[in-house]
Structure 1
Amino acid sequence: MEAFDPIDKKILKVLQADARLNTKQIAGKIGLTVTPTYERLKKIEQSGVVKDYVALLDRDKIGKTIVAFINVSLQLHSKPLINVFEKAIAKIPEVMECFHVAGNFDYLLKVVVKDMNSYQNFLSNKLATIENIAHVQSSFVMTEIKYQTAYTLD
């Protein structure tokens, strides 16, 4: 884990709120001049803490109305078969997130699609074609209560 001083944490907090800000704007928000802010920002970026700068889209406005969380169990747990599953999942654009988990299932997938027909197509023509899947259980989001992309920096 990277150790950050309070000023670095302020920079990260500002970036998480609005990554479009330029160095001068960030400096104004954290109470530093541009040069030390620029140097700190470059150091933070070089450390790999900032993975990317992206635009977060409104799902509904781009027609992606179905969010499903899918629990997946594998039949066998050999390293080669796990690798096959993970590589196949990584290639499926509807899978937004994939977690290897402990518990009753092996993986938790977050899948976002346009509608129920698209979900059926995803399930039948993409997920079901991956070898070694033993069981799939889907849960559908009815209402999104909280969506947050910023981490707390204690």
Structure 2
Amino acid sequence: MDQVDRKILNLLQENSKITIKELSAKLNLSTTPIFERIKRLEKEGVISNYVAILDKDKIGKKLTAFIHISLSNHTRDAVDEFARVVIQHDEVKACYHVTGSSDFLLKIMVEDMEAYNTYIQDKLAVAPYLGKVESRFSLSARKDTHMFRL
């Protein structure tokens, strides 16, 4: 990956709808090499997807919670089974298997405290090998990005 690839990737991360023609003008290159570079980056898996990033407030997901989970069983099968179940929950936006005093860290986004409570009682509480649950709630997001500045 060279400097031109990095510039293309930075511009695509800012606006994935930017046209090849617009990229060409910004990078002072013809359209064909830019198109070929993007196709190569896609084929190599550097670009894994193009998505629309929604405004969580405008779609009613006003509450973000970070849930620390300790499992009751720490075998590989228990860890895998717990993860397999929770990653299917629509509320879960990120699921990390972590080190430290907890085993997993979940980031969930829901409408409000009532929806959070429903999630905990109806979905998380019945997940296999669930032990201890500790939640923390976001007061504000000072930074929340998907971008990697290259």
TM-score by length of 2: 0.97
Q: Report if aligned partners of 1:14, 1:29 keep a CA contact under 8 Å in 2.
A: no
| Alignment of 1:86 onto 2:72 | no
Partner residue of 2:52? Answer: 55
Partner residue of 1:130? Answer: 127
Alignment of 1:4-153 (within 5 A): 4-153=1-150
Q: Deviations over 1:14-51 (max 9, x none)?
A: 00000001211112112210001111111011010111
Within 1, Cα distance between the matches of 2:25 and 2:98? 42
Within 1, Cα distance between the matches of 2:144 and 2:87? 23
Within 2, Cα distance between the matches of 1:131 and 1:149? 30
How far did residue 98 of structure 1 move?
0.5
Q: Deviations over 1:51-83 (max 9, x none)?
A: 110111111111111000000011111121111
How far did residue 152 of structure 1 move?
2.0
State the Cα RMSD in Å: 0.8
Aligned residues: 150
Q: Deviations over 1:125-149 (max 9, x none)?
A: 0000012111010000011111222
Unaligned segments of structure 1, at least 5 residues = none
- Using the aligned pairs only, state the percent identity: 38
Within 1, Cα distance between the matches of 2:100 and 2:28? 46
Within 2, Cα distance between the matches of 1:35 and 1:63? 42
TM-score by length of 1: 0.95
Within 1, Cα distance between the matches of 2:27 and 2:41? 15
